[in-house]
Structure 1
């Protein structure tokens, strides 16, 4: 018996929410882009972000460190929800990676 598209989509959403909540960073109020390893590409993308977004990110990181030190988590109503988690750094990161790859290709040719 075939599973309808709506049922598969629901199962997919339920699985996504389960995995997202299992990851744990949302219990500290962090977003996915807050958890990226800061290599050169990420540092350049962060440099290009508007200052208000950087300030919000820094606040979330400081709060998460404080909660970690206290061995505590936020109240459930303050957890970051999957629907609220915005990939704010990804457009900048894609642009930085593309520029780096173009620069590397240029340097190989000349």
Structure 2
């Protein structure tokens, strides 16, 4: 999840960008272990020499690690290219990322 705390962006548990097959206690692969997001923050320089940098744009990019090909997949790009089977995974990641109200503070899903 992502959230803004006292004006500072905080990102909790972005997930595993690269991981092997995750096996649960029943011996079955748990695909959530290969789902994650990448935070992307664009900064603006201080208006004054003694000022602070500020976040101009806050984004997240949902991704999935394909254990078969050994590649990180940008889920938005894959869906845009016709891989509709990735939509539920992307939506689940989006819901987790936005679960602490970050959308109201300006966090958007990037490409």
Answer yes or no: same fold by TM over 0.5: no
- More relative contact order in 1 or in 2 (CA 8 Å, sep 6+)? 1
Q: Give the alignment's TM-score, normalised by structure 2.
A: 0.25
Q: When you count strand as a share of all residues, which structure comes out higher?
A: 2
Q: Give the alignment's TM-score, normalised by structure 1.
A: 0.25
Higher-Rg member (1/2): 1
